[in-house]
């Protein structure tokens, strides 16, 4: 059933790969591991989020850097992200909130310009589109939640979407090193 759910989710959002997990938090933590966040590394995120977004950064020894939100959208403001980027920035972690996706075109361009990764916290963003593409269909890792208070729920659980190689690596990590 889990494999079937992964395949259907992947197909629905148009992602390269999908990995079902016990929670969105677990997926966010795996994303920080995959991007090798550790001491001295900075991850830029928003204060308008559940504490798990910041906790997974700290669990890896990284430093949380908060970029303020746009007061009209309540989403992370790309102008504020740009102000916070430093030589220590390794990941930008925008949070799509209340079904509204962040300005990913601007954030992705900025990340590319500075050579940093983007991980999308999409816990509150299923189903949503940016233009004609579903959130979770791009080249970033995106993490979804199916907790009881979400738009789409299984009572608990999460899903990671993203590039096949990263999701395959996350699958092994999620299984404590087992590949099958």
Burial of 147 (0-12, 13-18, 19+ CB in 10 A): middle
User: Does the N-terminal peptide bond of residue 131 adopt cis geometry, omega within 30 degrees of 0?
Assistant: no
43-59 burial: b if 16+ Cβ within 10 Å, else e: bbbbebbbebbbebbee
Alpha carbon separation from 153 to 6, 23, 57, 131, 149 (Å, rounded): 14, 11, 25, 24, 7
Q: Is 96 exposed, middle or buried (0-12, 13-18, 19+ CB in 10 A)?
A: buried
Active site residue 87: no
Q: Which is the catalytic residue, given 3, 8, 83, 150?
A: 150
Gyration radius of the chain over CA positions = 15
Question: What is the C-alpha separation between 79 and 96, in angstroms, rounded?
Answer: 16
Q: How far apart are CA 172 and CA 88, in angstroms?
A: 28
For 175, the token pair is 């299984």
Q: Which residues are catalytic?
A: 150
């Amino acid at each position: 059933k889990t494999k079937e759910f992964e395949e259907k989710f992947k197909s629905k959002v148009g992602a390269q790969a999908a990995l079902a997990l016990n929670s969105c938090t677990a997926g966010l933590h795996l994303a920080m591991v995959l991007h090798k966040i550790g001491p001295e590394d900075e991850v830029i995120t928003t204060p308008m989020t559940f504490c798990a977004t910041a906790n997974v950064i700290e669990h890896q020894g990284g430093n949380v850097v908060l970029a303020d939100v746009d007061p009209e959208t309540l989403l992370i403001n790309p102008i504020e992200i740009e102000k916070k980027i430093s030589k220590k920035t390794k990941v930008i972690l925008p949070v799509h909130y209340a079904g509204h996706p962040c300005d990913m075109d601007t954030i992705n361009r900025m990340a590319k310009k500075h050579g940093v990764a983007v991980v999308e916290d999409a816990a509150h963003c299923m189903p949503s589109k940016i233009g004609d593409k579903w959130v979770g269909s791009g080249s970033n890792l995106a993490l979804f939640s199916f907790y009881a208070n979400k738009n789409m729920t299984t009572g608990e659980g999460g899903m990671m979407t993203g590039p096949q190689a990263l999701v395959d690596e996350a699958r092994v990590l999620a299984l404590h090193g087992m590949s099958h």
